[in-house]
Amino acid sequence: MSGKFITLEGGEGAGKSTVLEVVRVRLASRGLDVVVTREPGGTAFGEAVRAIVLDPARRDITAESELLLMFAARAQLVREVIQPALAAGRWALSDRFTDASYAYQGGGRGQPRARIAELEDWAALIKPDLTLLFDLPVAEGLARVGARGHADRIELESGDFFERVRAAYRERAAAEPARFRVIDASQPVAAVRGAACAIIDAYVDSVEAVA
């Protein structure tokens, strides 16, 4: 079976990071060799970019710089981690990918969609085979973030910013229903995890059926 690329997306406080391990275990239980990564990050270079982009003291970063930094980290991740994994028949699982740039730098920051698409073609090279979008009301997500007691540079943005992010995510999901699976992240944690596992099982079944 050839390797597949699965991503988890969602706004702040959506809980996708906590579901990531559940999904990894589910894939492994199906006998799949899984590489897990995150954005920005996943490589030494990417983690250095992450430290800059999320530093709450770096309020001077422009929207254009943020977009380019995200794609610089992504270009490294694709070439160093994701493409080699897929070429070896492994599955890659990532906490965020290019959809996050359309949502955050596009919807949130107002960067043109065509500019992001051009960077996607040049720097990212690939698209996910399956994307799980964890969706919940912005107010609920920000309340979860607030309960953690600390916030990074992006989490400090306004509610209006995150409303635009959510709208951009939902728009992308509606435009690509074959790739996206939307999960109601306002459900209890067990229900969210159960929904994610059901989606993963169905997807692996479909891949195996045509292998």
Query: In this predicted model, what pLDDT tens digit does every residue of 24-48 receive, in sequence order?
Result: 999 999 999 999 999 999 999 999 9
Distance CA 134, CA 18 (A): 11
Report pLDDT for 18. 86
As given in the structure block, the two tokens for residue 179 are: 């790739």
Superfamily of domain 5-210: P-loop containing nucleotide triphosphate hydrolases (3.40.50.300)
Distance CA 40, CA 143 (A): 23
Burial class (CB in 10 A: 0-12, 13-18, 19+), 91: buried
Return the ∠ at Cα 19 (arms to 84 and 204), rounded to 5°.
55
Report pLDDT for 17. 83
Transcribe 62-114 into DSSP letters: -HHHHHHHHHHHHHHHIIIIIHHHHHTT-EEEEE--HHHIIIIIIIIT---HH
What are 70's strand-pairing partners?
A: none
Extents of the domains making up the chain: 5-210
94 touches 41 (CB < 8 A): no
Q: Provide the whole-model pTM.
A: 0.96
Report pLDDT for 148. 81
Our separate counts of H helices and E strands in the chain read 9, 5
Instruction: Examine residue 112 and say whether the peptide bond preceding it is cis (omega within 30 degrees of 0).
Output: no
Q: What is the mean pLDDT of each run of 10 residues along the chain (211 residues)?
A: 92 90 97 97 98 95 98 98 97 98 98 98 97 97 86 92 98 98 96 97 96 79
Report pLDDT for 1. 67
Distance CA 153, CA 89 (A): 37
